[in-house]
């Protein structure tokens, strides 16, 4: 029987409405290992009420039917009709993406500081639940509304009077089909609630498990210091605990009043370090720019102290990681308009946060070090010892490499360091972009290798013929690792860089170059991927120049793509700016960026976006089959069929 080719016409284009995008691709909006994150979205709302000073208790209950409820004694979600949408606000919050009470950041806004502006928080919770029930106590009355599969099934109704009571209770039944594991990890949930109690002095957080009858309760009036010492498990401190806070004042010309943070810092001589950070109470397990700001402020203060007292031995160079290596900390940052990497909010990417925290940390720390000189010298001693260990390790690697090294490519601009853990090489598209990258890079640890034109499609290339191509030859020689198979024994002693970063334009041609290079690494250097050495840099496609107004200076905001640009413009409008207050530039390529812009957006480890390359859940076999379909010479017919079937899913950049 002849196969019927799929139809591709106007009816093939599908428009996803309401919460459909979340259900179609839940991984874009939440972690799908288990339902913890969609419950944390509800907890975040309760914590924001406490942060705003309206709630004193957050109660989380795991019920016998596997549902989870979160209750707070805050103001209660508004139940009146939205002035524009004409339906109850509580219904909008749970059924519309990009809605909520945290967009209004101006004077009189409901939340001065909150966990983010993605606006897809609890609507994602609703979308990925079989059932969700909201009870609100507000205006001396009790209200209730219910949803199933993201759709409202029971309209908002008044249950009865509730004199003098206010708050919100949300009960969630997560839909197991969207998650790898249906069970919520209770220890992780408990840690999250405990951390919120630490960050909200005087607020009580409670976890109840109905099945076991266990009740855990946390309340910390003391703050971050006791929490950090508990995490260090009674390790002996080299210097006294240093706790401090710093916030921008009303006269600050760069940051909004109240932006800043509080932190506690401890130094130990041995044992595991404990590090935890938060932004507006949101745990940031992957760190981000606020942690980078703490590291920068700490480094500059200690470096200044060391230089002032002449403590640095000859030939030793201090780096931020040396000063930071034995530091444990808890950092709680307050950022007016936080930007996170992804909806799961594990990493802060707001570039201004680095300067904000670094500024608040450096001054007070310098004062403390110079008041307590003995403590300052002990911290300096730990940092100098770490620097000496690092330099000795790098020297050993250099001796091992010195015999029989191939002549490095002439167009490679190498870095000064020989420390594999620090070294990075950027494979850059074109000589023009390569020139900007050379000027903007950190020459101590970043190497640049410009690639001329598109690399050879190496999917079916024989290994002994690879070096006939100049670009592939230069890449292999620069890396110091020979082509190999997935199961071969490979000599990695010659590897010269810990990170191999593909850096191409943020357009279709750039994506093609990425695919060609990923083909090379997957086919001929698979163990580099397996060991976590290969990355893809993500330069921005747009720059938004915002004019100065009032006390706020002019700003440059970078957007990765069209979606992020829309998000940036929405926020500028929420700030009260008119369309004429900003201009939008589209980068045609990396070569258009100045060295400073390329450093800030793509090369700076603290502010760039660098995606690790891995096989993920698909595994080697499925990935290999997909590469063969896309890159194999004999797969033209199958490739055409696949494009006809999947082509409508592509966002075309014309």
What's the rounded Cα separation, in Å, for the pair 226 and 223?
Answer: 6
* Pairing verdict, β 204-209 and 57-62: parallel
* Residue 606 known to be catalytic: no
Q: Which of 205, 234, 254, 321 is nearest to 551 (CA)?
A: 254
Mapped to the 3 state alphabet, what secondary structure does 12-43 carry? Answer: HCCCCCCCHHHHHCHHHCCCCCCCHHHHHHHH
DSSP helix/strand/coil, 557: strand
* Residue 429 known to be catalytic: yes
Tokens of 599: 């450093």
Mapped to the 3 state alphabet, what secondary structure does 71-110 carry? Answer: EECCCCCCCCECCCCCCEHHHHHHHCCCCCCCCCCCCCCC
What's the rounded Cα separation, in Å, for the pair 259 and 248?
Answer: 5
Q: Among 509, 575, 635, 644, which one carries the catalytic annotation? A: 509
DSSP string across 253-286:
SSS-TT-EEEEEEEEBSSS---EEEEETTEE-TT
* Residue 507 known to be catalytic: yes
Specify whether the CB–CB gap between 73 and 166 falls below 8 A: yes
Tokens of 131: 């059932």
Count of CB atoms situated within 10 Å of the CB of 68: 22
Specify whether the CB–CB gap between 255 and 293 falls below 8 A: no
Specify whether the CB–CB gap between 332 and 224 falls below 8 A: yes
Q: Which of 160, 181, 193, 180 is nearest to 61 (CA)?
A: 193
- What sign has the CA pseudo-torsion 114, 116, 119, 125? negative
Q: Among 507, 570, 575, 635, which one carries the catalytic annotation? A: 507
Tokens of 445: 């640890």
DSSP H helical ranges for 412-558: 431-440, 470-479, 508-524, 526-530
* Residue 33 known to be catalytic: no
Q: Which of 72, 104, 102, 99 is nearest to 88 (CA)?
A: 99
Indicate the Cα dihedral angle 421, 558, 414, 536, nearest 10°.
60
Q: Is 279 exposed, middle or buried (0-12, 13-18, 19+ CB in 10 A)?
A: buried
Q: Among 474, 505, 600, 606, which one carries the catalytic annotation? A: 505
Tokens of 240: 């006294």
What's the rounded Cα separation, in Å, for the pair 327 and 46?
Answer: 32
Tokens of 224: 């971050």
Spell out the residues 6+ positions from residue 518 whose beta carbon is closer than 8 angstroms to its own.
502, 534, 536, 613
Q: Among 49, 352, 429, 474, which one carries the catalytic annotation? A: 429
What's the rounded Cα separation, in Å, for the pair 274 and 326?
Answer: 10
501 to 411, 421, 513, 536: CA distances (angstroms):
17, 14, 13, 5
The enclosing H or E element of 47 equals helix 36-51
Indicate the Cα dihedral angle 463, 464, 470, 472, nearest 10°.
20
State the catalytic residues: 429, 505, 507, 509
């Amino acid at each position: 029987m002849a196969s019927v080719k799929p139809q591709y016409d106007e009816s093939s284009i599908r428009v996803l409405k309401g919460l459909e995008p979340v259900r179609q691709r839940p991984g874009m909006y939440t972690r799908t290992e288990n339902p913890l994150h969609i419950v944390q979205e509800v907890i975040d709302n309760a914590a924001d009420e406490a942060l705003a000073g309206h709630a004193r208790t957050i109660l989380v209950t795991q019920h016998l039917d596997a549902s989870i409820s979160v209750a707070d004694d805050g103001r209660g979600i508004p139940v009146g009709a939205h002035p524009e949408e004409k339906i109850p606000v509580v219904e909008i919050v749970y059924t519309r993406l990009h809605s909520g009470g945290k967009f209004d950041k101006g004077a009189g806004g409901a939340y001065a500081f909150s966990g983010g502006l993605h606006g897809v928080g609890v609507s994602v919770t609703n979308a990925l639940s079989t059932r969700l029930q909201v009870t609100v106590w507000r205006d001396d009355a009790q209200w209730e509304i219910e949803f199933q599969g993201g759709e409202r099934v029971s309209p908002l109704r008044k249950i009865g009077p509730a004199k003098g009571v206010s708050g919100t209770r949300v009960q969630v039944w997560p839909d197991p089909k969207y998650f790898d594991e249906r069970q919520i990890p209770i220890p992780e949930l408990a840690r999250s609630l405990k951390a919120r109690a630490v960050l909200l002095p005087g607020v009580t957080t409670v976890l109840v498990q109905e099945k076991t009858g266990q009740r855990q309760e946390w309340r910390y009036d003391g703050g971050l210091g006791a929490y950090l010492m508990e995490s260090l498990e009674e390790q002996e401190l080299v210097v006294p605990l240093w706790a401090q806070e710093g916030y921008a004042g009303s006269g600050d010309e760069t940051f909004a009043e109240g932006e800043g943070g509080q932190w506690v810092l401890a130094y130990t001589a041995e044992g595991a370090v404990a590090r935890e950070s938060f932004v507006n109470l949101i745990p940031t397990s992957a760190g981000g720019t606020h942690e980078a700001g703490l590291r920068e402020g700490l480094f500059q203060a200690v470096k200044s102290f060391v230089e002032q007292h002449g403590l640095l031995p000859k030939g030793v160079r201090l780096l931020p990681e040396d000063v930071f290596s034995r530091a444990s900390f808890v950092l709680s940052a307050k950022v007016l308009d936080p930007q996170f990497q992804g909806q799961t909010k594990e990493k802060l990417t707001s570039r201004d946060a680095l300067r904000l925290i670094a500024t608040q940390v450096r001054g007070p720390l310098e004062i403390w070090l110079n008041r307590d000189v003995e403590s300052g010298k002990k911290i300096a001693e730990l940092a100098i010892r770490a620097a000496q260990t690092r330099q000795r390790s790098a020297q050993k690697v250099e001796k091992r490499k010195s015999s029989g090294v191939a002549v490095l490519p002439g167009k490679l601009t190498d870095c000064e360091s020989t420390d594999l853990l620090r070294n990075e090489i950027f494979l850059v598209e074109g000589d023009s972009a390569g020139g900007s990258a050379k000027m903007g890079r950190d020459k101590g640890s970043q190497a640049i290798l410009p690639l001329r034109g598109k690399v050879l499609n190496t999917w079916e290339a024989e290994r002994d013929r690879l070096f006939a191509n100049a670009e592939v030859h230069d890449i292999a020689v620069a890396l110091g690792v020979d082509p190999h198979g997935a199961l071969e024994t490979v000599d990695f002693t010659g590897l010269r860089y810990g990170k191999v970063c593909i850096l191409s334009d943020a357009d279709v041609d750039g994506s093609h170059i990425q695919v060609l290079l990923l083909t090379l690494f997957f086919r001929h250097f698979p163990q580099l991927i397996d060991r976590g050495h290969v990355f893809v840099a993500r330069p921005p496609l747009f720059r938004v120049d915002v004019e100065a107004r009032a006390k706020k200076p002019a700003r440059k905001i970078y957007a990765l793509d069209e979606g992020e640009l829309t998000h940036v413009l929405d926020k500028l409008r929420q700030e009260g700016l008119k369309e004429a207050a900003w201009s939008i530039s589209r980068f045609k390529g990396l070569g258009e960026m100045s060295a400073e812009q390329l450093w800030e957006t793509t090369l700076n480890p603290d502010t760039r976006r660098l995606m690790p390359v891995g096989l993920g859940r698909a595994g080697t076999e499925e990935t290999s089959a997909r590469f063969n379909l896309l890159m194999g010479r004999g797969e033209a017919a199958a490739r055409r069929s696949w494009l006809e079937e999947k082509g409508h899913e592509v966002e075309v950049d014309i």
